[in-house]
Structure 1
Amino acid sequence: MKCPKVFVESSLLIFCSALHAEESWSLNLHTFSHHFSERAHGQKWNETNPGLGLRRDFGSDFSIQAGFYKNSLSKWSTYAIAEYSPLSVGSFDAGLFAGIRTNYQNPVEFAGGALIRWRVTEHIEITGRLSPKTCSYCSGFVSAELGWKF
């Protein structure tokens, strides 16, 4: 799998930024997705999407995340996204995410949509993502991640 320059730069931004006590990190396990439309030519979407991501929180409503996962075309993809979640009610946060993903029909494509995050405990979180259809061969989908904040 080739690693595009923009992914390397995004990863360096995450890993080389200065550490501060109020900022936290999370390790995220990518799990599954569900697509809203059929795939072309009678093929099925891969809806089992194992992978790992590393998220860096900058305060209570902004974070960046990068990682890899087995995508809906059954190929390994890398991604880098920014998240903005200004809505917070109890242990739930909601907002938007946008960034890039690799290894679909184009080498690099847009990734984005809405997110909701449930802080189950101080260290465990579940994130749901809703992404609209963003290209001619794509489908809108929902996906889930399990995170451990350290």
Structure 2
Amino acid sequence: MTMDEIISFVDGLDGVLTLRPAPGDGTPEISWGDAFFYYAPDGVTPTRTQPFATVVTKDGPGDEASRLDRPDAFRVNVATGREAFTRWTGHAPGDPAAAAVDPGEADTVIAHPVYGAAGWLAVVNPGPRTGAAIRDLLEQAHRRARSRYERRAGTASVRRR
């Protein structure tokens, strides 16, 4: 899967706001070329929440283990939560054994090298082995973000009637 295919897939989910920082827009240079996905049906960037998924194209400070400095390397990061994290890694978030896989290995679902303890999974250059998995994980993270948004907005109970 390409970065554009992933962005297009997530953009197709309801209520998604995709931010793509670029030169001249006031965002930090480290974020240029990346993509950040929020559940924001009103189109307004949430101020009190993190994205439910990101695509990063370069190593960040303290986050060099994925070796994104290689040509055409990128990493999809997904806030999956405890249950999916445990299902994929065989360990609870924060368990050091969950981080045993090489974070630079392509086309492999791994504990996020920095945010694994918070239940984030990641895939460097998703391909044939992880394409379906990453789409499923992105959909799950989207549903979790939508539920969190609805709880905060008080719309979950109205929607069930």
TM-score calculated relative to the size of structure 1: 0.31
Larger fraction in strand? 1
Larger fraction in helix? 2
Q: Which has the higher contact order (CA 8 A, sep 6+)?
A: 1
TM-score calculated relative to the size of structure 2: 0.30
